[in-house]
Structure formats: C-alpha cells, structure tokens
Amino acid sequence: MEKQPLNIRPRRLRKSPILRDMVAETRLSREMFIYPYFVVPGKKIKHKIDAMPGIHHFSLDQLLFDVEKGMNSGVNKILLFGVGEKKTGDASSSFSNNSIVVKAVKELKRKFGEDLFVITDVCVCAYTTHGHCGILNDGYVHNDSSVEVISKMALAHAMAGADMVAPSDMMDGRISAIRGILDKNRLENTSIMSYASKFASAYYGPFREAADSAPQTGDRKSYQMDFRNAREALKEALIDEQEGADILMVKPALAFLDIISQLSLNTLLPVACYNVSGEYAMVKAASERGWIDEPKIVMENMHAFARAGAGIIISYHTRQMFESGWL
Ligand code: PBG
Ligand code: ZN
C-alpha cells in the first residue's frame, strides 16, 4: 500500500527549545506567587517546622529580617499566620489589637510600606482551646457567633494595616459580614481573598502541627467541604463572589485542579489556589530521599495550577523557587 502523506505532525512544534517556548500555553511569572509565614510571640525565635523543611516559626524580629531577605529575591506578597497565642473558648486573643499578627502587620507595613503586600489569614482555630475554626455550642461549630468573632479578627488585622484579609474558616455569610464591618470602619479599600472552596482535607496535616491548630475533638467536616463535591464547590465560590469577595481561592490545589478549572470558567474574579502543607511535605520528603527531582516536580506542579486556571498561587515553595532561580 502507498504511504499516505503525513500533513499534520504535532511534533513539529516541539522541535527546539525556542519553538517550544514560543508555543507554550502557560507562562508563570513571579508576580503570581504568595509566600506564607508563621509568626509567634517572643524574641529571637526561628524554629524549624518538622514536616515542612525550609519553613519556620519566626518571632517578629526574625520575621522582619527574613522578609527583607525574601524581598531581595522578589518575594513581595506574604500570607501571615499567627501561632502560639493564648487559647480560649471564645477565641478572644484572635481579635485583640495586641495580637502577634497585629503587631507584625504594623511593623511590616511601617518598615516596607507599599513594597510589601501583606495578607493575613483570618481564622480562629489556632486561638481556641478546642481547635475548631469557630465557636463551639453543644459540640457544634455555631455559624453566626463564629462569624461575629471572625469579623472582629478581620477588622483588627485591617486596622493594623493589612492590605488584604483572607478568611479560611468556611462559615456561611462571613464574606458579607467582613465586608460590612470593614466598610463601616472606613476600610473599604482593604480587599478580601476568600478561601471560597476549601475542602476538609488530610493535606493540611503538617500545617496543623505548625499552627498548633488541630481540632481536639471531631473533624472539620461540618464546615469545610466534602471532597466528593465539585458543583457544591462552585456554589460556595459564587456565593462568596456575591457577598463581595475580591479573589476566590481553591484549597488544596493538587488534588483539586478540576475545581480550579471549573471555577475559572465560572467567575470573573481572579482565582487563587493554595498549594498546601501536605502537598509541600510530599515533595520535600520524596526529594530528600532522592526519589524525585525537586525543581522539576515543583515547576510541573506550579504550571499545572496555572494551566488549570489559577492566576495566583500560594506556595511554601515560593522562596526557594525564586532564590534558586527555578522561575
Ligand atoms: C486555618 C487554616 C488551615 C490552613 C490554612 N488556614 C488549616 C485547616 O483548615 O485545618 C491549611 C494550610 C496548609 O495546610 O498549608 N483554618
Ligand atoms: Zn481554621
């Protein structure tokens, strides 16, 4: 039989690096990345976090030092978590105007101004004795009283000068409550990045050790989402959009690329994803054993997030990616 001419040869476009770069559909840039930080009360503290190699607890003095170092390689957006404050049933230390997060925000903004964009995580699980992301009532996380506390926490952070607050609690109605309380206090330009579609996930394991925020009883399934649900994830995100969120986040990221993708096709807001602690720990553990090539795996993951539709990526890899020139 005569050989048919092969007119369509997709491999033609993969012939050389320059050509591959030209036709690449996904391009990452440093502007997309947010780097998380854990800040603790005290002085001269820089403690390693076991299951998150390269990530530390910093006291404020050390945090300032480390942030400055990161800024030199382009890390100019950070997400702050407060750890080690007094834990109570009513989470009162979470909305104190003297909390370590408030102090850190003030100091960071005083020192770096517009050169550093400061986002704070807003949730009370590191501030409650029971470790739940809200106020317990008869063993159930009561929605509306939780929203009240969470709004006060967001207000404290915003008054301190946070550029953006990021509620991660998954209570109903918290975006409009936070928007309301911020606006009432003339903080209408403080933006809100909502952890909009946040799933109850085993991928948060290392973080809970880092933040000392594991629930003492039960789990988070009565407020965080069921990972079997995709349509509900869209519902959650679109409600937050209606309530006034500025950015919608999907979390975790790697196992939820379909959610990132669907959300990006169904909202006009920027879409972010959180490459969480367990995802980070898996990559670190395997690469420490020499089982995977860390820079290659990390960059493959980052491109996957962007290809799925995330324009903003929160990742513990950010610092190393920038400093080692992987991006
Ligand atoms: C607090 C919070 C969590 C994470 C971000 N904010 C933990 C949780 O919900 O249990 C997870 C971050 C990570 O795993 O890297 N609500
Ligand atoms: Zn929480």
pLDDT of 20 > 90? The answer is yes
pLDDT of 291 > 90? The answer is yes
**Type of residue found at 87:** K
Q: Is the CB of 204 under 6 A from ligand 1?
A: yes
**Type of residue found at 119:** I
pLDDT of 287 > 80? The answer is yes
CA distances 186 to 181, 182, 211, Å, are 9, 6, 31
For residue 228, how far is its CA from the centre of ligand 1 (angstroms)? Answer: 19
Q: Is the CB of 208 under 6 A from ligand 1?
A: yes
The residues facing 273 across adjacent strands are 250, 313
pLDDT attached to residue 270: 98
CA distance 214 to 133: 10
Question: First vs last Cα of the chain: how many Å apart?
Answer: 50
What does the pLDDT look like over 144-187, one tens digit per residue? 999 999 999 999 999 999 999 999 999 999 999 999 999 999 99
pLDDT attached to residue 87: 95
84 within 8 A of 140, measured Cβ to Cβ: no
pLDDT attached to residue 244: 98
The ligand 1 atom nearest the CA atom of 275: 15
* Token pair in block for residue 34: 């947010």
pLDDT attached to residue 311: 98
Q: Which of 77, 87, 152, 198 is catalytic?
A: 198
CA distances 164 to 63, 119, 154, 178, 182, Å, are 19, 5, 9, 12, 11
Q: Is 221 a catalytic residue?
A: no
129 within 8 A of 216, measured Cβ to Cβ: yes
For residue 122, how far is its CA from the centre of ligand 2 (angstroms)? Answer: 8
pLDDT attached to residue 14: 98
Q: Decide the pairing of beta strands 77-82 and 140-142.
A: unpaired
81 within 8 A of 88, measured Cβ to Cβ: no
Which residues keep their CB under 5 angstroms from ion ligand 2?
A: 123, 125, 133
Q: Is 184 a catalytic residue?
A: no
Can you give the pTM of this predicted structure? 0.97
Read off φ and ψ for residue 234, nearest 5 degrees.
-65, -40
Q: Is the CB of 133 under 6 A from ligand 1?
A: yes
For residue 207, how far is its CA from the centre of ligand 1 (angstroms)? Answer: 6
Nearest residue to 150 via CA among 129, 172, 134: 134
201 within 8 A of 276, measured Cβ to Cβ: yes
Q: Is the CB of 123 under 6 A from ligand 1?
A: yes
Mean pLDDT computed over 300-307: 98
pLDDT attached to residue 3: 84
The ligand 1 atom nearest the CA atom of 215: 10
The residues facing 155 across adjacent strands are none
pLDDT of 209 > 90? The answer is no
Q: At a CB cut-off of 8 Å and minimum separation 6, what does 154 contact?
A: 122, 165, 167, 178, 181, 182, 192
pLDDT attached to residue 2: 78
Element (H, E) at 6: none
pLDDT of 1 > 80? The answer is no
Q: Is the CB of 276 under 6 A from ligand 1?
A: yes
Nearest residue to 80 via CA among 29, 111, 35, 114: 35
Domains of the chain plus CATH, in order, are: 28-323 (3.20.20.70)
Determine what percent of the chain falls in helix, strand and coil, rounding each to the nearest 5.
45, 20, 35
> Which pLDDT band, with edges at 50, 70 and 90, does 4 fall under?
confident
For residue 80, how far is its CA from the centre of ligand 1 (angstroms)? Answer: 12
For residue 60, how far is its CA from the centre of ligand 2 (angstroms)? Answer: 22
CA distance 52 to 281: 6
Element (H, E) at 322: helix 318-323
CA distance 146 to 174: 9
Read off φ and ψ for residue 296, nearest 5 degrees.
-70, -45
Closest ligand to Cα 146:
2
Q: At a CB cut-off of 8 Å and minimum separation 6, what does 171 contact?
A: 133, 134, 141, 143, 146, 147, 150, 223
Q: Is the CB of 236 under 6 A from ligand 1?
A: no
